[in-house]
Structure 1
Amino acid sequence: MKQRILSVDIFRGATIILMVLVNTPGTWSNVYAPFLHAKWHGYTPTDLVFPFFLFIVGTSIVFSYKNKRTNSGTYKKISVRTLKLIGLGLFLGAFTISFPFIKDWADIRFPGVLQRIGVVFFFASILFINVKWKPLIWITLVLLVGYWLLMTLVPVNGIASTLDRAPNNLANWLDVRLFGTHNYRPDYDPEGLLSTIPSIASSLLGVFTGLILLSKQEKKATILMGIGGSFLIIGHLWDIIFPINKALWTSSFVLVTAGWANLTLALIYYLTDVKKIQFGSIFRYAGANAIIVYFLSSFISKIMGQIKMGDSSLHGWLFQKIYVHDFISMELSSLLYGLTVVAFYCAVAYFLYQKKIFIKV
């Protein structure tokens, strides 16, 4: 059991470290292509990071709630954690270093990464403790197929819906109508309302992986690899009519990212549980306090971006003074800055782990 949980912790920690890395380059003007999101359709390695985390949220739910009963105490714990995650996300969206330390109302972003994690955790947890695994498969299929039909068949203001970044894109239109100026961009939000539906499916697919890891099945790594490969094939075939798109969190995107997640976790499980190879301790440290590491990295980055240093910010000043040199490219300088940030939060995670401080959100 410890090793199974260890493999999940390593996967979670590696995902968080990647989230910190891709979110904190030295400059967004010079970033290697794999560390950028796809402009719209398609995906890059960076586009795998957030769905990997939602996937592992689902896997972790199995370990956390496999023996929990459907009573008021369990629902209370799930609800409190959900509200904490949403509250932290809203705090990040509203905070500014200028008094009174909150942005103008029109500039506060309502959707966000932590908000989505909270909502997905809530629904995936409630479904897991109330629904058997076979009906849960059908629910997952309904979420994916239903979202596909919504996005392609429902017209917007009498105009056929599109999957392009346009006013008659149903998900984008709904976010603008509901949130107005509180979106990530004026015309859409990558963590918007409608696209949260298939993101729940991302977590439910992680639930099924957790059930496999807890089962008495032999050759679990082989099973996960087979599932992962199947998801990749189906997802890329679905891409032909429902393009892979992170901003819209399309159903094909859900399957492709879950496919890669299963393949990655299968490899970690094979190395740690089957071959008994000890590795990835730093990932385990980060995984043990994953949400706090992500929150701190986002919060401190936000502060450093707002503190003025001459004509630049503290972030920009440090990058220019320490990392920018004539003998290396700007892309490499930007990456080295990000790696330094990652090293710092790995050290923080190591300190917390050694002190047995596990901050549960």
Structure 2
Amino acid sequence: MGNALSFVMPRLKQQDNSVALGKILKRSALIFLIGFLLNWFPFIRWEHDSLVFRGWTYTNDSGVVIGVRVMGVLARIALCYLFGSLLVYFLGLRGALVASAILLLGYWLLCYTLGAPGDPYSLSGYFGTAVDKALFGPEHLYHGEGVAFDPEGIPSTLAAITQPVFGYMVGWYIQQKGKNYTMLRNLVLMALAFLVVGYAWSLAFPVNKKIWTSSFVLVSTGWATLLLALLVFVIEFKHLKGWGDRFFDVFGKNPLFIFVLSGVVPRLLGLIRIPNPAGAKPVYLSPLSWFFHQVCQPLSAGNGKNASLIYALTLVLLYWLVGYILDKRKIYIRV
């Protein structure tokens, strides 16, 4: 996202403030809205043996109150794009980097001082959970950890905002220096600097994706930059192009649509109930869970990890095929 921003920002800065800000706000709002509707989709659910409307909140069969999740991956992307773009637009690259450093240090300070004494960086001790509960209510948070906690909540977004700025810096630098070995060397050095600082910081502020720690921001940015440098070297300098780059190119041309599709398909298929052939719980299987139990597990000779790998690769290929068809027809869905 930040890398792409380096191509868009020069055009935005040539426009009036109202026009440029309107485009940034519109794109951010659309991405947030798409993510929110995806969390609510398909708007109906099974209640005993009937399909009913999935309300803003409802009580499941176990008596637990569940609500539509407000935040999520797309909501996080929308907020990071919004504030990352505004930092670069108004402050320029240098000012945005200074602001990013303040955000990362400030987030560390908040986690340490407001978190549980002696254990501020755990799920139970993280200060941000109380903030997200107050903003959205516990029923509207992610429950995949067994507790009400949101890995894409508002407090941790403070650190995540900096990553589009770092991505912008990398993209801007590549464009400024052009395709040469000096640029590539400095790109590697930049990546190593992120990694060294990130891992050193992790001694005091551990690398933790769940709460998106500042050290995680630097380490993940470092590895992403190093991977980008490797791809530039292989594809642009050594011209080792083939089926590999063409395969992944499909995902890059319709990324938002394919991401949404990967959420829509399981939710839609989840409305289809197939009696469990094993006659055990769960009583019903969705087509995807049936495929996992009846196809993937037998193919893997009962090895759970291999079955999961077969299942995952099958879905990736399915979404790739949809993306490939769209690409062949020159259909690109953007916001």
What is aligned with 2:129?
172
Shift of 1:304: 2.1
Q: 1:75 to 1:101 in 2, by over 3 A?
A: farther
CA distance in 1 between partners of 2:288 and 2:327 (Å): 28
- Aligned-residue CA RMSD in angstroms? 1.9
Give yes or no for contact 1:89–1:113 (8 Å, CA) kept in 2: yes
Shift of 1:277: 2.5
What is aligned with 2:121?
163
Shift of 1:328: 5.1
Match of 1:295 among 243, 257, 260: 260
What is aligned with 1:284?
249
Q: 1:155 to 1:277 in 2, by over 3 A?
A: closer
Query: Is 2:321 the partner of 1:347?
Result: yes
Shift of 1:354: 1.3
CA distance in 2 between partners of 1:257 and 1:331 (Å): 25
Task: Tell me the amino acid that sits aligned with residue 174 of structure 2.
Answer: L
Shift of 1:155: 5.8
Query: Is 2:165 the partner of 1:214?
Result: no
What is aligned with 1:313?
286
What is aligned with 1:17?
none
CA distance in 1 between partners of 2:53 and 2:76 (Å): 24
CA distance in 1 between partners of 2:90 and 2:266 (Å): 39
Structure 1 portions without partners, runs of 5+:
1-56
Q: Relative CO higher for 1 or 2, CA cutoff 8 Å, sep ≥ 6? A: 1
Give yes or no for contact 1:307–1:314 (8 Å, CA) kept in 2: yes
Structure with the bigger percentage of strand? 2
Task: Tell me the amino acid that sits aligned with residue 74 of structure 1.
Answer: A
Report % sequence identity.
Answer: 31
CA distance in 2 between partners of 1:299 and 1:265 (Å): 30
* Equivalent residues in 2 for 1:1-361, closer than 5 Å: 57-69=1-13, 70-96=16-42, 97-98=44-45, 101-105=53-57, 106-154=66-114, 162-166=120-124, 168-180=125-137, 181-185=139-143, 186-216=147-177, 218=180, 219-279=182-242, 280-310=245-275, 311-325=284-298, 327=301, 329-361=303-335
Q: Deviations over 1:95-135 (max 9, x none)?
A: 23435653442421111001111111111122222222211
CA distance in 2 between partners of 1:275 and 1:221 (Å): 13
Shift of 1:333: 1.4
CA distance in 1 between partners of 2:114 and 2:158 (Å): 16
Structure 2 portions without partners, runs of 5+:
46-50, 58-65, 276-283
Q: 1:191 to 1:155 in 2, by over 3 A?
A: closer
Count of residue correspondences: 302
Which region of structure 1 is more displaced relative to structure 2, 345-354 or 326-335?
Answer: 326-335
Q: Deviations over 1:149-199 (max 9, x none)?
A: 11112367xx67711221x42112211222221000243110011000100
Which region of structure 1 is more displaced relative to structure 2, 246-255 or 134-143?
Answer: 134-143
Give yes or no for contact 1:224–1:262 (8 Å, CA) kept in 2: yes
TM-score (norm 2): 0.85
Give yes or no for contact 2:142–2:150 (8 Å, CA) kept in 1: yes
CA distance in 1 between partners of 2:123 and 2:115 (Å): 15
Q: 1:171 to 1:161 in 2, by over 3 A?
A: farther
TM-score (norm 1): 0.79
Which is higher, the Rg of structure 1 or of structure 2? 2
